[in-house]
Amino acid sequence: MRYGLFVAAAAFEIAGCYLVWQALRTHQVWLWLPAIIALGAFAWLLTLTGTDCAGRAFAAYGGIYVAASVLFMLGVERIRPDLWDLLGAAICLAGAAIIFFGPRSA
C-alpha cells in the first residue's frame, strides 16, 4: 500500500511537470492550473508514505520516479527505452527498495 503511494506520487509529479512543460512550450496559460493541482497532489501523497523523515521519503521515491519517467517516455512520447534506460531504472528501483525496506535501528 505505502509503495503504491510512491507510484501515485510519481504519476502526479510527471503529469504536473509535463503540463508545465507544455504550458511554457505552447503558451497555453490554462495548463498552469491543472499543473499546480497535480504537483500539490504529488507533494501530499509523499506525506502519506509513512516514512520517518522527509529525506528518506524523497530518496526512496526517486527510484520510482525514474522508472515511471521511462514508462512515460514509452507510453506517452512513444520513444522506446534502450538497454541503458532500462538498466538505469532497474538500478534506481533497487536503490529505492534498499532505502525503503532497509532495517532501521530503534
Q: pLDDT tens, position by position, for the chain (106 residues)? A: 577 888 899 999 999 999 999 999 999 999 999 999 999 999 999 889 877 788 888 888 899 899 999 999 999 999 999 999 999 999 999 998 898 888 888 6
Domain housing 52? 2-101
Predicted pLDDT at 59: 86
> Which amino acid type is present at position 50?
G
For position 3, what pLDDT does the model report? 75
Examine residue 48 and state whether it is found in any structural domain, yes or no. yes
For residue 53, being part of any structural domain is answered with yes
| Residue 8: inside a domain | yes
Residue 106 lies in a domain: no
Instruction: To the nearest 10°, report the CA torsion of 19, 71, 79, 28.
Output: -10
Q: What is the pTM of this model?
A: 0.80
Q: Specify burial of residue 64 (Cβ count, 10 A radius: 0-12, 13-18, 19+).
A: buried
How many separate domains does the chain show?
A: 1
